[in-house]
């Protein structure tokens, strides 16, 4: 099978624990949900409720303040607090805490549209915005902004069903069980972007999903369901675009620069829910897995449910975890507190045992074996970037284009000397941004 991006790695996908398990709702609803005001790229939202207010499922509880998407209550009940709470991004962020009344009183203000394709692009964008939809693959870019900024510039729409991170099966199960919504959502997005055709890219380790979606597209053939070689990071936006269209996004650019718009398959399903069923984004599928988990599961989870609750739903820990991640093992963020909530971009709660996790032995000397160079999908030379970063020579690291690094972790994964390359590059980026800001401030002071 053709692989048209350079490099990449092939870790064991470990999806067998959950890829045949249907998505199930929580057996016990959470007593309380904690809904952070920052679940997306951009500025945190402004809460519209205060402690003591009653809220209903789907009721808007926070409004956009800058770039962002509104936020809705995921359960009905009473607002217990509006205060900073720990969240998956690290640290604390202003959150709306809701005590669940277990009644699930509906309160969405969106109207269902039986014929979504009769809507104008502007109407679709407005519904997507009001439904609070953000990218559900992890990064969380507000979807309405992606559509409206791409209008007229985009000639190719791609749904990302690659799910190239090991362990995670949330998108896989979604495509199998709610394929109609994915295809329906894809057609709505195509309509919004003014396109007649679209693509869905799926890694070849999910051929059942490929076949299922192909059969759903049927004779209309407006959407090409493309099996992709199973190679991490096939699902990274740049690499997916490169694979499907052969185009490379210029440095610092966005997919729209090469006429592409990429949406996660979960995002497409959420768009369908919003437009056709009038439901804002208040729940998502989360894979709870890892060797520490007693009964790995794919769960349908109201946003704001704590990681601890999900772990309990999955039978708790059968072995003490070494670390608990939000997301996959290649790019996921390690959590220190299990009270953190599920947000719009949480696709997995991954509990790794010490045996599964990267060994913690001290880094050896770099051999210059060049494995990092050979796997880098961004054509970088991690070996030299790290050499300079170690010596704090940031301008040289910048010259080696560390800012192009997508932090996919391929180099770090493959390194036989176990050098924490990604960490080194994150530090370098941070320092380089800091220096640039300082320079700017200096120039501003001069002027």
Partner 1 sequence: MSDEKTLRLKVASSPHVASPIDTRNLMRDVIIALVPALVMAIVFFGFRALISTVISAAACVFFEWAYRKIMKKTSTIGDLSAVITGILLAFVCPVTLPYWVLIIGDFFAIVVVKQLFGGLGKNFLNPALGARAFLMLCYPVPMTTWALPGWGNSAPLTMSVGQAYIDAATGATPLSADFMHNGLLPNVSLGDMFVGNIGGTIGEISALMLLIGGIYLIARGVIRIRIPAAFIATVAVLTLIFPLGGNNNFQWMLYEVLGGGLFLGAFFMATDYVTSPVTKRGELIYGIGCGLLTVFIRYFGGYPEGVSYAILLMNICVWLIDKYAKPNRYGVTAEMRKAEKEQAKAAKGGDGK
Residues near partner 1 (CB under 8 A) are 6, 9, 11, 86, 166, 238, 248-251, 253, 308, 317, 320-325, 329-339, 350, 352, 356-360, 364-370, 373-374, 376-381, 383-384, 401, 404, 407, 409, 412-418, 420, 422-423, 426
Which tokens go with 167? 């362990």
User: If DSSP states are collapsed to H, E and C, what string results for 219-234?
Assistant: HHCCEEEEEECCCECC
Q: How far is the CB of 102 from partner 1 (least distance, A)?
A: 21
Q: How far is the CB of 358 from partner 1 (least distance, A)?
A: 4
Residue found under tokens 């900024």: 149
Q: How far is the CB of 357 from partner 1 (least distance, A)?
A: 5
Nearer to partner 1, 121 or 420 (CB): 420
Query: 213: which strand partners?
Result: none
Q: How far is the CB of 308 from partner 1 (least distance, A)?
A: 6
Nearer to partner 1, 103 or 379 (CB): 379
Q: How far is the CB of 82 from partner 1 (least distance, A)?
A: 16
Q: Are the CB atoms for 370 and 353 separated by under 8 Å?
A: no
Helix (H) or strand (E) holding 207: helix 207-217
Nearer to partner 1, 150 or 166 (CB): 166
Nearer to partner 1, 41 or 334 (CB): 334
Q: How far is the CB of 336 from partner 1 (least distance, A)?
A: 5
Nearer to partner 1, 76 or 305 (CB): 305
Q: Torsion angle of alpha carbons 112, 122, 74, 272, nearest 10°?
A: 60
Cα atoms in the Cβ-side hemisphere of radius 13 Å centred on 73 = 32
The sign one gets for the Cα dihedral 131, 156, 188, 168 is: negative
d(CA 150, CA 257): 9
C-alpha of 164 from chain center: 12
Nearer to partner 1, 152 or 253 (CB): 253
d(CA 266, CA 279): 14
Q: How far is the CB of 424 from partner 1 (least distance, A)?
A: 9
Q: How far is the CB of 209 from partner 1 (least distance, A)?
A: 24
Nearer to partner 1, 97 or 147 (CB): 97
Nearer to partner 1, 200 or 325 (CB): 325
d(CA 368, CA 69): 45
- Pairing label, strands 46-47, 323-326: unpaired
Coil, strand or helix at 156: strand
Residue 376 zone, left/alpha/beta (φ > 0; ψ -120 to 50; rest): beta
- Pairing label, strands 333-335, 297-302: unpaired
């Amino acid at each position: 099978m053709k692989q048209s991006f350079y490099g990449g790695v092939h870790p064991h996908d470990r999806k067998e624990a959950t890829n045949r398990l249907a998505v199930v709702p929580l057996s016990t609803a959470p007593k309380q949900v904690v809904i952070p005001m920052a679940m997306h790229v951009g500025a945190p939202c402004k809460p519209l409720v205060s402690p003591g207010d009653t809220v209903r499922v789907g009721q808007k509880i926070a409004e956009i303040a800058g770039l962002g998407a509104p936020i809705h209550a995921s359960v009905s009940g009473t607002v217990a607090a509006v205060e900073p709470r720990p969240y998956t991004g690290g640290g604390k962020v202003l959150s709306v805490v809701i005590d669940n009344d277990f009644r699930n009183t509906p309160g969405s203000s969106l109207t269902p549209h039986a014929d979504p394709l009769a809507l104008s692009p502007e109407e679709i964008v407005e519904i997507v915005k009001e439904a609070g939809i953000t990218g559900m693959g992890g990064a969380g870019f507000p979807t309405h902004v992606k559509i409206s900024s791409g209008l007229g510039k985009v000639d190719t729409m791609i749904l990302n069903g690659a799910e190239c991170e090991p362990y995670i099966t949330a998108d896989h199960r979604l495509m199998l069980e709610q394929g109609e919504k994915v295809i329906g959502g894809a057609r709505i997005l195509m309509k919004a972007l003014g396109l007649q055709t679209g693509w869905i890219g799926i890694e070849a380790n999910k051929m059942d999903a490929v076949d299922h979606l192909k059969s759903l597209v049927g004779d209309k053939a407006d959407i090409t369901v493309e099996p992709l070689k199973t190679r991490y990071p096939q699902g990274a936006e740049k690499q997916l675009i490169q694979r499907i269209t052969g185009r490379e996004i210029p440095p610092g650019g966005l997919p729209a620069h090469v006429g592409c718009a990429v949406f996660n398959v979960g995002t497409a399903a959420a768009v369908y829910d919003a437009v056709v069923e009038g439901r804002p984004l208040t729940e998502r599928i989360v894979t709870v897995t890892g060797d520490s988990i007693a009964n790995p599961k794919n769960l349908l989870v109201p946003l704001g449910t704590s990681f601890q609750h999900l772990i309990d739903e999955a039978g708790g820990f059968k072995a003490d975890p070494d670390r608990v991640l939000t997301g996959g093992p290649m790019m996921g963020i390690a959590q220190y507190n299990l009270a953190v909530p599920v947000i719009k971009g949480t696709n997995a709660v991954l509990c790794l045992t010490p045996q599964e996790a990267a060994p913690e032995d001290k880094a050896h000397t770099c051999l210059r074996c060049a494995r990092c160079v050979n796997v880098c999908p961004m054509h970088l030379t991690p070996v030299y970037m790290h050499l300079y970063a170690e010596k704090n020579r940031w301008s040289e690291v910048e010259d080696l284009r560390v800012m192009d690094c997508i932090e996919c972790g391929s180099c770090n994964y493959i390194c036989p000397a176990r050098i924490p390359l990604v960490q080194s590059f994150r530090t370098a980026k941070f320092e380089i941004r800091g220096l640039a800001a300082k320079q700017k401030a200096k120039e501003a002071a001069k002027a």
